[in-house]
């Protein structure tokens, strides 16, 4: 029996060798799955986050023989967030893949997150055979229908000869105009079929020729700016996705206008610049909120007037003329009506405006803003011996010379990371803005670090948010991803607990994560179980040495910083209120 088994194995190996030779000689065409992966290679895709399953096994087999590096996440949501983080860090299209049914549904939060924040992604889901669609077959779900509200477009591939064209079109759609996610649902029988026609290897440009401002508009806007006594710029995430940060800097300096960003626009303008106001909105700086509120001309570039930025939109910048320039015309006049509105590519529009610069002193306006900065800076009140989140982030800022890429989860720690780190370039602060997805930080930081292995990438997370995708420590360990992780551990779901403190007299509604007053679990212990070193930090006296040890570590490292849980993120504008009702202390 042993000899027969060996003989059978040899026969099978000879069979595979023969078939491989036929394939390499052109006698056997690539099937649908191999065609898909070949197309991804031709498009320059280098990295794919893929979790296997029965309906995507053909795609996984094709990936195994490709030049594309495949990362196996420990959960499909982690894979979607990792692809999202990769895209945010690079501006390229992130790619993730999984099977049908629960594999596909586990991607939904990651897809919605990318859609809300205009992040380019192409998502592949396996699907049951075509003749089984609509029969409630094993692991069949209508992922096209489920994702329709949160994708730019979706493809259900029903024709083997449409595989390559659909993928190329998906990448065009993901990157063009306002970026976003595109879904490709790929039935298993189509994955196995052989194409009957050869499609062109060339693809359309990823972005159509951008449209600028109408010919007379730059001069008219320049005159408007010249007449303004208290102008302010509101820069959104479109500056970053539109690669317009250099043009924005030139425009602001040339006209001597202060710049406030949205949360998604952080990094669009260097925060160490004399004209920088940091970000405004619900937890933004006091002086940015006041400047936006009291300006007489608000220049809105690449932003969508999120409720977290505007508060009560009826009272937002009520005394100002508003100029709105955006690539997505559906955002114009949707929430706040603009006096001057332009559907245009922001980089080209700013380039046109920069041909009409006129520097003005604006001394009174800038001095008023300087006064607000002096009276109400972003600061925390030290408490002897008690470790505070703001101190941790300020120390990270100091140790990294404001040069690390920061990827927070969602919650209080996210806002403190935005407030107390100084961001000087685009794609330095990668955060879940519109959807506010807890569990985003760890896998997104993983994707960012894989995209930029030479950069110092730090995941700043909360103990609640970190636990939502904590299993990605396994991916980090297996792939040797040198990610630095800092947990601001306050043993609570801090942002909701803050709302309870302010509006519900401190009554807890399942926001306390403690078990008999002890922190649970030991994050360092969990990291160690994956072979990742870590360290607990309990006091301010241990902080600098701990950060230095983390940054010096050649691989991944986790710091669990046990912070004061009674601290609130301030300033705070209550939801639905205007900046006139801002809470400072």
267 and 346, same domain (yes or no): yes
Residue 201 inside a domain? The answer is no
49 and 61, same domain (yes or no): yes
16 and 43, same domain (yes or no): no
Instruction: Answer with the one of 375, 397, 426 that is the final residue of a domain.
Output: 375
525 and 459, same domain (yes or no): yes
The yes-or-no verdict on residue 517 having pLDDT over 70 is no
Least trusted range by pLDDT, from 52-61, 356-365, 402-411, 515-524: 515-524
Confidence at residue 11, expressed as pLDDT on a 0 to 100 scale: 46
Q: Is 277 strand, coil or helix?
A: strand
Whether 229 is catalytic is no
Q: Is the pTM of this model over 0.85?
A: yes
Count of other CB atoms within 10 angstroms of residue 92? 19
CATH number of the domain where residue 113 is located: 3.40.50.970
108-116 and 76-90 helices, crossing angle to 10°: 20
| Catalytic-labelled residue, pool 97, 121, 282, 495 | 495
Confidence at residue 3, expressed as pLDDT on a 0 to 100 scale: 44
Pick the more confident residue, 272 or 520.
272
| Catalytic-labelled residue, pool 61, 132, 139, 471 | 139
φ and ψ at residue 510, rounded to 5 degrees: 65, 40
Q: What is the pLDDT of residues 414-453, one digit of tens each?
A: 999 999 999 999 999 999 999 999 999 999 999 999 999 9
Alpha helices, DSSP H only, in 236-381? 237-241, 245-255, 286-294, 307-310, 346-353, 363-375
498 and 414, same domain (yes or no): yes
253 and 151, same domain (yes or no): no
φ and ψ at residue 180, rounded to 5 degrees: 180, 180
Give yes or no for a contact between 466 and 487, defined as CB atoms under 8 angstroms apart. Answer: yes
Instruction: Answer with the one of 375, 408, 428 that is the final residue of a domain.
Output: 375
Instruction: Work out the pLDDT band at 24, boundaries 50, 70, 90.
Output: very low
Whether 76 is catalytic is yes
349 and 498, same domain (yes or no): no
CA–CA distance, 168 with 57 (Å, rounded to integer):
22
Residue 212 inside a domain? The answer is no
CA atoms 382, 547, 424, 360: torsion sign:
positive
Residue 211 inside a domain? The answer is no
| Catalytic-labelled residue, pool 152, 188, 278, 484 | 188
Q: Is 27 strand, coil or helix?
A: coil
Confidence at residue 564, expressed as pLDDT on a 0 to 100 scale: 87
Dihedral angle at the C-alpha atoms of 538, 539, 540, 545, nearest 10 degrees? Answer: -60
| Catalytic-labelled residue, pool 76, 140, 247, 294 | 76
Residue 198 inside a domain? The answer is no
Q: Residue 427 is part of which domain span?
A: 389-566
| Catalytic-labelled residue, pool 138, 192, 198, 581 | 138
39 and 23, same domain (yes or no): no
25 and 74, same domain (yes or no): no
CATH number of the domain where residue 284 is located: 3.40.50.1220
Give yes or no for a contact between 75 and 103, defined as CB atoms under 8 angstroms apart. Answer: no
CA–CA distance, 471 with 72 (Å, rounded to integer):
12
The yes-or-no verdict on residue 209 having pLDDT over 50 is yes
Residue 540 inside a domain? The answer is yes
Number of domains in the chain: 4
18 and 53, same domain (yes or no): no
State the average pLDDT for the chain: 92
449 and 501, same domain (yes or no): yes
Residue 358 inside a domain? The answer is yes
Confidence at residue 22, expressed as pLDDT on a 0 to 100 scale: 34
Whether 19 is catalytic is no
Residue 571 inside a domain? The answer is no
39 and 145, same domain (yes or no): yes
Residue 412 inside a domain? The answer is yes
Instruction: Work out the pLDDT band at 17, boundaries 50, 70, 90.
Output: very low
Instruction: Answer with the one of 375, 406, 437 that is the final residue of a domain.
Output: 375
């Amino acid at each position: 029996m042993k000899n027969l088994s060996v003989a059978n194995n040899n026969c099978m190996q000879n069979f595979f060798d023969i078939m491989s030779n036929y394939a390499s000689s052109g006698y056997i065409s690539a099937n649908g799955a191999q065609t898909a992966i070949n197309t991804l290679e031709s498009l320059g895709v280098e990295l794919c986050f893929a979790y296997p399953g029965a309906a995507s096994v053909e795609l996984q087999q094709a990936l195994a023989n490709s030049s594309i590096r495949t990362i196996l996440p420990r959960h499909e949501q982690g894979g979607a967030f990792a692809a999202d983080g990769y895209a945010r860090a690079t501006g390229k299209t992130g790619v993730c893949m999984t099977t049908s049914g629960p594999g596909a549904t586990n991607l939904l939060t990651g897809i919605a997150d990318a859609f809300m924040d205009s992040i380019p992604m192409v998502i592949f889901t396996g699907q049951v055979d075509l003749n089984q669609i609509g029969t409630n077959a094993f692991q069949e779900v209508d992922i096209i229908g489920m994702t329709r509200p949160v994708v730019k477009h979706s493809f259900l591939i029903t024709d083997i000869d449409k595989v390559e064209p659909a993928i190329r079109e998906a990448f065009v759609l993901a990157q063009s105009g306002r970026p976003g996610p595109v879904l490709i649902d790929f039935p298993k029988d189509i994955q196995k079929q052989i194409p009957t026609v050869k499609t062109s290897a060339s693809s359309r440009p990823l972005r159509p020729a951008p449209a600028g401002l109408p010919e007379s508009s730059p001069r008219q806007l320049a005159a408007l700016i010249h007449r303004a006594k208290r102008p302010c710029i509101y820069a959104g995430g479109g500056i970053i996705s539109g690669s317009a940060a250099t043009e924005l800097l030139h425009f602001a300096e040339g006209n001597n206008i202060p710049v406030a960003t949205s949360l998604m626009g952080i990094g669009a303008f260097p925060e160490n610049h004399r004209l920088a106001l940091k970000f405004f909105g619900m937890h933004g700086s006091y002086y940015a909120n006041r400047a936006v509120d009291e300006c007489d001309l608000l220049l809105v570039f690449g932003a969508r007037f999120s409720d977290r930025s505007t508060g009560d939109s009826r009272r937002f910048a009520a005394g100002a003329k508003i100029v709105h320039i955006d690539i997505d015309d559906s955002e114009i006049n949707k929430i706040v009506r603009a006096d001057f509105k332009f559907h245009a590519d922001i980089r080209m529009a700013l380039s046109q405006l920069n041909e009409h610069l006129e520097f003005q002193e604006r001394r009174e306006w800038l001095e008023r803003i300087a006064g607000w900065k002096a009276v109400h800076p972003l600061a925390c009140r030290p408490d002897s011996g008690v470790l505070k989140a703001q101190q941790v982030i300020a120390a990270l800022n100091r140790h990294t010379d404001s040069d690390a890429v920061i990827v927070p989860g969602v919650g209080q720690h996210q806002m403190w990371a935005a407030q107390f780190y100084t961001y000087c370039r685009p794609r330095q602060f990668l955060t879940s803005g519109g959807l506010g997805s807890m569990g985003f930080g760890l896998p997104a930081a993983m994707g960012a670090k894989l995209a930029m292995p030479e950069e110092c990438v730090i995941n700043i997370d909360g103990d609640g948010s970190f636990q939502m995708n904590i299993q990605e420590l396994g991916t980090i360990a297996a792939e040797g991803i040198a990610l630095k992780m800092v947990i601001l551990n306050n043993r609570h779901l801090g942002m909701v607990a803050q709302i309870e403190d302010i509006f519900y007299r401190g009554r807890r509604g399942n926001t306390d994560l403690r078990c008999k007053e002890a922190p649970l679990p030991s994050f360092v212990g969990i990291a160690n179980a994956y072979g990742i070193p870590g360290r607990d930090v309990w006091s301010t006296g241990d902080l600098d040495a701990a950060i230095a040890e983390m940054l010096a570590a050649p691989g991944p490292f986790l710091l669990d910083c046990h912070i004061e849980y009674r601290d609130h993120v301030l300033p705070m504008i209550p939801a639905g209120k205007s900046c006139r009702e801002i809470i400072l202390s």
